[in-house]
Amino acid sequence: MSTGTAQEPRTTELAKAYEHRDVEGRWYRVWMERGYFHGDENDTTRPPFSIVLPPPNVTGSLHLGHALTATLQDILIRWKKMSGFNTLWLPGTDHAGIATQMVVEKELVKTEGKSRHDLGRPEFLKRVWAWKERFGSRIGEQHQALGASLDWERERFTMDEGLSRAVREVFVTLYEQGLIYREKTLINWCPRCHTALSDLEVNHEEGHKGELWSFAYPLSDGSGEVVVATTRPETMLGDTAVAVHPDDERYKAIVGKMVRHPITGREFPVIADSILVDPAFGTGAVKVTPAHDFNDFEVGKRHGLPAITVIGLDGKMNTNAGPLVDQDRFEARKNVKKIIAELGLDRESKPHVLPLGRCQRCETVLEPMLSWQWFVKIAPLAQPAIEAVEQGKTRFIPEQWTNTYMAWMRNIHDWCISRQLWWGHQIPAWYCPDGHVTVAREAPQACSTCGSATLRQEEDVLDTWFSSSLWPFSTMGWPEKTRTLQTFYPTSVMETGHDIIFFWVARMMMMGIHFMGEVPFRTVYLHPMVRDEKGQKMSKTKGNVIDPLVITEQYGADALRFTLAALTAQGRDIKLAKERIEGYRAFANKLWNATRFTLMNLSGFTVGLDPHKAARTAADRWILARLQRAVNETVEALDGFHFNEAANTVYQFVWRELCDWYIELSKEALYGDDAEKKIAAQAILVHCLETSYRLLHPMMPFITEELWNTLAAQVGGRWGDSLMTAAYPKPGPVDEDAERSFNPVIGVIEAIRNIRGEMNVPFKTPLADVEVGALEQSAHATVAQEKGRIERLSNATVAIVAAGRAPTKRGGSAVAVGEGFELRVGLAGAIDLAAESARIDKELSKVEQDLTGIERKLANPSFVERAPAEVVEKDRARSEELRDKRRKLEAHRAMLQEAEGTMETPNPAAETITPTAQVAETPPPEAPAAAPDTGETTPPQGEAETARQPKARRAPAKKAAKPARKAAKPAKKAPAAKKAAKPAKKVARKAAKPARAAKKTATRGAKKTAARGAKKVAKPAKKMARKPARKTAAKRGR
RNA sequence: GGGCGGAUAGCUCAGCGGUAGAGCAUCGCCCUUACAAGGCGAGGGUCGCAGGUUCGAAACCUGCUCCGCCCACCA
């Protein structure tokens, strides 16, 4: 963290590399001091946009899942704020009942060797509060390090006074409405945590390998026995019936008879129950233990059977278990089997796979336990919550979660809300000595039934999720009718992990609708889980938790945030690898250096110049168009919660287009004498950067704020107080013509670079003889205009032939045929005919391949008939283009073959090739090596042969080896039906460089533009078709 | 037992009817005065398997195989 005091940012020259430690940390305080984080409940001019932060456990510390939550929400909040919304992002923490209590208990044992019982409830609670005070602030610090623009003035805690009041209000109201009741019934009990749990807190272990053990109950009348099976033998001590199916002929005779318990001696009946018993399973007879099995409990109710509890709350057998009293339930299991075996009543044992309920927190096998508990009657609350989603009042993103939510809501059981813990909201119910219950908002003076003044408050506390379920409105001051509620409820977005859709989201829906009469949020965006590199969920128990602060310190908060955003695609979990973060840290550095470059080239900068009006060159107009497209796509992506697309769009623009292309292109103007072009380039650079900062700010708040201010100061003016309050770039029409018309320039530069690479001519060696031709009128004009830039970026001297004319044919040249141009690079003596031959061949085979596919399609009458006209038209044009390209390439190849032929027998015709004089004049660095080559032996026949020629040419051996290696491949592929048609040789050489290069750079604009001719017509159509749909969908929800 | 995801380049993942993409890794060439946390170029894919729909399928449908997750009171 920096100690800087940056009220005013530095305006000195930027450091050579971006150091996040020097920048982050300064800005957060500035933002906070200026009150930017505050949501204004009295603002009626701007539309509200609110999010409540899912409250982390107060004693916990943030992991990467939290960092993701904070990042995505901050992106939304900052974006909306910049887009003119009155934003509120409300922070807080959760008391996390059982989790916190256990942490403190453990600590207590460790440090003082005491249990909570040793301290007593009041003292223990004091300790928990102290713990909370000590560690609670950690969460805040972590969020601040991440740059989260949370409104700290409104920070809440689920057990603070206001929220506790809300909890009591809700409890009492629901009680009064008959929606909360107390009942002695079977619940899931954790013998270790010593508390009841809700259904959701039960983890079902799948496929637990258990045992199905059967034994016989002797009939009391001595007429025989009935064999039953169980996976939990110890529960037989609490059996109060044996059930059979009423239609089961085998047992008809014994229904109504009594059996005698072989251990306790109790007698109980054989009953008939068609719901419980599946005659096909096991023996068709079932032992019934109403006090320890959910099914049996129902049977007990149906048949009026007694429920005998044999296992105590601590998991040990109680006095009802006769001889097994005080034994642990698992020990008792063994002993019951032993005793029964000794009695000769055991019958069978076989392995049995069964689901096993375990405590979510401590993994202990749960015990169904009969006890008094408080419940929320859920059906009346669930129904409206179902309807709200059906009616689209709240929608889920990704949509698939709607089903999950619905399925759960429709099968929901009553919610057990009482917990036998100390840490939490103590249930506002009081008992008088007569056992009457008084439920009240504040401690009552007397029993509401009998008036007794002797009252004892219910000791149980509420499930921690009870208070969380009120979070969207309790944090805004409910039950008071506050301005905050009025302005910011319902919240705009609930953004959280899908793991708590039931625990939290569903319950907030129910409570919000019930108490506010309105859904708590319009959109639920459920983000993926962050997993470790192995794909495992990060959890404290697994020990694979990564502290975001460690990452932040190492790579910077911006890098972490951007990485998380870039990886947040809908529908898949995030496996976070360090390399990814490193990559995006490099991106931050790139942005830094792009700014640094600009700052170094601002002399003569003209303040107030409109970049669009100033634009002088095709390159200028191109980058401005690309910028606008990036803006459009980013906004659209954010609008649809496609964080990865937003991140990637900006990344591609800044790095690939602005830095790799425009900055390089702009050097021509910046270093040149044309003042007009120079100030235009400066204005455009500044404009692109400034816009990029704004685009990027929600994702990378620190570095963008720093650079924005630095650049503003350097260009002689302030753009505003802070980037945080600047306006987000607005979508608008894209100058597609500007995008398109620049493509030949990019194509030409890439083609030259490609030839350099393939021919092994280093960049520093100038190419003196480059000709560009076959340009149509408009392309010709552009290329001519951009000649200087082309030359700079390819380090070549370029001649442009008249529009429509091909470059002159000349030997000793490499040739590239791109979309809309043809290029010849004279390599003088440096030409490696074998390499060039191979290169052309490779290209030709690619053309051939593409052509074959397209022609086959076009030859198919049903395609021509049934495919959309534009698709057919596109393919026709493409086909034409490919044929043209093939023609040109073949011509070039013929020439190469001729040249190679001449090598075999040097003849006068060789003069048409590079004159030797030229070789002498402009020898590329390695050219001399080529000279002795001439007149070698071995007459190559075709170019393939040539390629394989191992002759010791100047061309390194590997070059020759390459095609050979590739040639091996087709053998593998040949079987593939689709490709079988082509000559194997051609299949082998697939890569067509210019095509590839053009595709790559033609940059996304070109792709998306319905360009003339064969260019990307289809793709844009697809994209357009998809995106607007998404957009409207997104809008509907608001 | 129900349900939901996933399977695409060596790795991590986008794309989800119309010419297979990114980042990282790999290979080659460059310390070109913004950036070596860099630049330029290249290689690399029967888009899990089998059927089907379609003029056209990585994408849609059916089945299957493997992963992962959620829900579930069959003794």
Span A325-363, pLDDT tens digits: 899 999 999 999 999 999 999 998 888 888 888 888 888
Specify the pLDDT at position A31. 94
Q: Which residue, counting CA atoms, is nearest to the C1' of nucleotide B18?
A: A1018
Please give the Cα distance from A624 to A627 (Å, whole number): 5
The 10 Å Cβ neighbour count of residue A1012 is 12
Q: What value, to the nearest 5°, has the Cα angle with vertex A75 and ends A72 and A77?
A: 110
Residues A742-759 pLDDT 10s = 988 999 999 899 888 888
The one-letter amino acid at A460: D
Please give the Cα distance from A211 to A231 (Å, whole number): 6
Specify the pLDDT at position A774. 80
Per the DSSP assignment, residues forming a β-bridge with A816 are A823
Please give the Cα distance from A974 to A970 (Å, whole number): 5
pLDDT at A134 over 60: yes
CA of A635 to C1' of B55 (A): 37
Q: What single DSSP character describes residue A2?
A: -
Q: Give the contacts of A161 (CB within 8 A, at least 6 positions apart).
A: none
The one-letter amino acid at A330: F
State the pairing for strand pair A92-93/A156-157.
Answer: parallel
Is any atom of strand B within 7 angstroms of residue A980's beta carbon? no
pTM of the model: 0.84
Residues A549-599 pLDDT 10s = 888 988 999 999 999 999 887 767 888 877 788 889 999 999 999 999 999
The 10 Å Cβ neighbour count of residue A893 is 19
Mean pLDDT of A456-472: 95
Helices (H) and strands (E) in chain A, counts: 38, 29
Which pLDDT band, with edges at 50, 70 and 90, does A910 fall under? very low
How high is the ipTM of this complex? 0.94
Is any atom of strand B within 7 angstroms of residue A93's beta carbon? no
Q: Looking at strand B, which nucleotides approach a protein CB closer than 7 A?
A: 1, 3-6, 11-19, 21-25, 28-32, 34-46, 54-56, 68-75
Given a contact cutoff of 8 angstroms between Cβ atoms, the answer to whether A146 and A74 are in contact is yes
CA of A407 to C1' of B3 (A): 9
Is any atom of strand B within 7 angstroms of residue A979's beta carbon? no
CA of A815 to C1' of B28 (A): 21
Q: What single DSSP character describes residue A357?
A: E
Please give the Cα distance from A703 to A692 (Å, whole number): 12
The better pLDDT of the pair A856, A466 is held by A466
Across all strands, nucleotide nearest A599 (CA–C1'): B34
pLDDT at A931 over 70: no
Two tokens, residue A387: 């309807």
CA of A645 to C1' of B13 (A): 13
Residues A268-308 pLDDT 10s = 999 999 888 888 888 889 999 999 999 999 999 999 999 99
Which pLDDT band, with edges at 50, 70 and 90, does A541 fall under? low
Specify the pLDDT at position A865. 86
Mean pLDDT of A790-802: 90
Please give the Cα distance from A354 to A370 (Å, whole number): 22
Distances (CA, A) of A494 to A72, A94, A396, A505: 11, 16, 9, 8
Q: Which residue, counting CA atoms, is nearest to the C1' of nucleotide B14?
A: A569
Please give the Cα distance from A407 to A1032 (Å, whole number): 27
The 10 Å Cβ neighbour count of residue A273 is 19
Is any atom of strand B within 7 angstroms of residue A718's beta carbon? no
Please give the Cα distance from A758 to A962 (Å, whole number): 11
Q: Which residue, counting CA atoms, is nearest to the C1' of nucleotide B6?
A: A572
How many CA atoms does the CB half-sphere of A835 hold within 13 Å?
24
Three-state secondary structure call for residue A316: strand
Largest CA distance in chain A: 126
Q: How far is CA A507 from the centre of its chain?
A: 24
Specify the pLDDT at position A12. 52
Specify the pLDDT at position A87. 96
Please give the Cα distance from A553 to A921 (Å, whole number): 57
The closest alpha carbon to A781, from A825, A807, A742, A735, belongs to A742
pLDDT at A181 over 90: yes
Instruction: Spell out which residues of A between 447 and 506 contact strand B, using CB within 7 Å.
Output: 499, 502
Rg value, chain A, Cα: 39
Two tokens, residue A298: 């129902």
Which pLDDT band, with edges at 50, 70 and 90, does A1024 fall under? very low
Please give the Cα distance from A725 to A333 (Å, whole number): 68
Residue length, chain A? 1038
